[in-house]
Amino acid sequence: QVQLAESGGGLVQAGTSLRLSCAASARTFSNFAMGWFRQAPGKEREFVAAVSQNDAYRRYGDSVKGRFTVSRDNAKNTVYLQMNSLKPEDTAVYYCAATERYYAGTVQGLYNYWGQGTQVTVSS
């Protein structure tokens, strides 16, 4: 069972950038597809980004396309979410998720493991 730990969240101003990291305890990190989801107060959990095991496939939610970039470094057992041009509506708890599948995309039910989340707050 892989353990996931998000970091990098914080309070930032609109228009700035932030990079989230998700460190995995698995020794076979390259065998996991990864995803990012977020949940704002009063809203359902929303898909943000996904990446395949080998970083060959990436997908983004419509609200973040063009602003966010997901990447991974399998040698470091870490997946990243680079967030640029942040908006107040990006404020949410961001969760890292993993699955043994090659690629899971937007389907939350396919992700077997979840981190505790990290808070991102964007002020206007």
The reported pLDDT for the residue numbered 1 is: 78
Is residue 113 within 8 A of residue 24, CB to CB? The reply is no
Report residue 83's pLDDT band, with 50, 70 and 90 as the boundaries. Answer: very high
Work out the percent of the chain whose per-residue pLDDT is above 70: 100
| Residues 117/7, Cβ–Cβ less than 8 Å | no
Cβ atoms of 31 and 100 closer than 8 Å? yes
**Gap between the Cα atoms of 9 and 36, Å rounded:** 13
Phi and psi, residue 89, nearest 5°: -70, -5
Q: What is the pLDDT of residue 30?
A: 94
